[in-house]
Structure formats: C-alpha cells, structure tokens
Amino acid sequence: MNVVIRRRETSLGWGALVVYLGALALALGICAVLLMLSGKPGLGGLAILFRGAFGQGYSLLDGLVKAIPIFLCSLGVALSFRMQIWNIGAEGQFALGAVGATFVALALPGQPWPVLLPLMFLAAMLAGGLWGLIPAGLRLWLGVNEIISSLMLNYVGILFLEFLVFGVWKDPGSFGFPMTAEFSPGGQIGRMGPALGLNLGKLHWGLLACPLAGVAYGVFLSRTRLGFELAACGEGERVARYANLPYGFLVLLVMGLGGALAGLAGSIECSATLGRLQPTVMVGYGYTAIVVAWLARLKPWPIAFTSFLLASLRVGVEVLELRLQIPAAFGQIMEGAILLCVLAGQFFLDYSVSVRFARLRRADSAAPGLEERA
C-alpha cells in the first residue's frame, strides 16, 4: 500500500465545508464517548448541550454577550499571528484592561457616561497595550521567546488584579468578598433591551465595539500599507530584511494593538457584565480567543462566527454542568477536542491524500511517500 500526499493546486471550495463539518462531528463524537465513559448519557448529553446553547432566545443572547470579549481578544491575537508572532497573552492583557478601566471608574465617580466610559476604554487599552508591549520588547531586544513571556505575564496580570481587589480596592461594604465598590452609573455600560424597547436579556451596548473593531481590522489588513507589510512579515524575518520591511516596529505594533483590544474587552466585561471589578471577571476568554483565531484562520468574519460558536458552547456546557453534574473542565475539553479535530482536518484543505495499492510482491515495504510540488 502506498500513501501519496500531494499539495492541492486549487482550493477545495465547498468541499471545505464538508471537511469542517466532519471535523466538528468527530469532535462531538469524542465528547459523547467521554460523557459515556463517566457514566452519563453520551448522545443525550450532547442534546442537552445543544438545547442549552441554541434552544432558547435567551441562551442565544447569552452566547452573544459572551462572544463580545472573545471576539475582541481574538482579533488582537490574530493580528500578531498574521506575522507569526505568537501572542498567548490576551488573558493577562484582558486583566490589565479591566484594572485600567476600574482605576478610572473609581477615580472619577459620578461623571456622566460620555466622559467616563471613553476615559475608561482609553485607560484599558493603554494598560492592555503596554502589557502586550512587554513581551514584544523582550523579544526584540533580548531575544526572549514571546510565547513563554506572554504566557507567564498572564499569571502576573491576573495576580496583580487579585492583589488590588483583595487589597487597596476592596469595597469596605462587601462583607469581606474580594470586589471593588460598584461603578457609578456613568461607568456602567447599559443594556440594549430597555433603550430599544425589546427583550434582549443581558445584551449590552458593548456589542457595538465588535463591528467597529472588526471593520477596522479588515480595512487595516487589506487596504493599508502597514497591514500589507504585516502580512509580508509573516513570511519570515529574512524576507522582511530583503524587502526592507520595518520588522521591529511591526512586532511592537501588533503586540500593542493586540493588547489594546484585549484590554478593551476587559473593560467592557467589567463595566457591562459585573459593574465592578472582581476576580470572577477572569474566565479564560483570552485563551478561548486563541482557539478562535486558529479555527477561523485569522479572517475577520470567521472569527466573528467562531467566537459566537465557542461562546454558545460555554453557555451549553453551563447547562450541562447543572443538569448532569459534569465538571466545569468539560467545556475546556470540548474546546480542545474541536480545535484539534479542525486543525487536523485543515490538513485536507491543503493536501490531497490518495491510497494506492501497489504490486503485492512488495507489500512488505509499505513506505509512505511524501511529495510536495514546490
């Protein structure tokens, strides 16, 4: 038997959809098996999950609310992934954004929202962006791998947040719970429902940041010179040097912008969902964002869609946790299974695999041949 792997010369078109659906089905199958292994109904569990995630209007709205921070963080990491800079630090940048926004909200109580909210966003983006610049600078000037440094800085950022909330920022009236005082009304992003006269659940005006950031991301990459230079840098530092691209500046730019977007997500989450800062603001959106960016192959529309999908998955798993007493880690297992299956499936988008049964006389020397037309 001879397995021949060739690079595709034309893209797969609609066949890609089959690949993605197949990968998704495989991932769900794995999850069903895991459920059964822990003594729960496998397919029944998946049904509960789906109804929980998509079955009701409010569950869809809940998914949308959770998709907002994921989408913003994901755009940020996708920007750096474009030029092969591996920013794993969205979680920490998100934390710093929440801290920055809280600082402004606590320092300027009673200001009207047109003053307070923009200042909070600005502070959040500044804090997140600077946090993102640390691994960029370490990489450029000391040659430190940005994967390690950005990942480690997540823990530093989260601990810094907790240090503030458990200490100087703790609300005296919180009965010892680690949380700040509630933001003044001008520091809280309102819900969309009452203003529009609709029942939109917890959906809030922070949603507007998504189309704004998404359009800016798309225009930046496809229409500006810097955006083009960024994509070209993704081909490696040698090409960047040949073409005289500002490699170092671009590394700082993508890490700064990525941090700013994650910081913005942190401030929105604090201000709209919690109305204050508390450690529960950190639920791993920054890590989910990395999964989303990969699944969506760094393109803005797929990032939006995938953010919503994985946010809904979180909603569904919450229902599953309650109904079947499944540990919360199951959501992460599902996320991981989907990522691995889809990434493995993406191999088939770029390569065609054919199996040839060669002459039987050499059946013993089954050797895989790997060919790539350059």
Secondary structure letter of residue 190 according to DSSP: P
Helix (H, G, I), strand (E, B) or coil at 40: coil
Closer by beta carbon to another protein, 147 or else 226? 226
User: CA 128 to CA 261: how far, in whole Å?
Assistant: 8
Is there binding between residue 43 and another protein (CB under 8 A)?
no
Q: Which span (220-228, 250-258, 322-330, 332-340) binds another protein, by CB under 8 A?
A: 220-228
User: CA 338 to CA 295: how far, in whole Å?
Assistant: 9
Closer by beta carbon to another protein, 146 or else 229? 229
Is there binding between residue 357 and another protein (CB under 8 A)?
no
Rule CB under 8 A: choose which of 38, 224, 280, 352 binds another protein. 224
Residue-by-residue DSSP string for 84-135? T-----HHHHHHHHHHHHHHHHHHSTT--HHHHHHHHHHHHHHHHHHHHHHH
Closer by beta carbon to another protein, 5 or else 60? 5
Radius of gyration of the chain (CA): 23
Helix (H) or strand (E) holding 25: helix 15-37
Rule CB under 8 A: choose which of 225, 325, 357, 360 binds another protein. 225
Closer by beta carbon to another protein, 176 or else 238? 238
Q: Sort strands 351-356 and 2-7 into parallel, antiparallel or unpaired.
A: antiparallel
Rule CB under 8 A: choose which of 2, 56, 174, 346 binds another protein. 2
The interface mask with another protein, positions 228-247, x = CB under 8 A, is xx-xx--x--xx-xxxx---
Residues 6+ apart with CB under 8 A from 299: none
Rule CB under 8 A: choose which of 13, 39, 223, 361 binds another protein. 223
User: CA 98 to CA 120: how far, in whole Å?
Assistant: 9
Closer by beta carbon to another protein, 182 or else 235? 235
Write out the residues near another protein by the rule CB under 8 A: 2, 9, 223-229, 231-232, 235, 238-239, 241-244, 358, 362, 365, 367, 369, 374
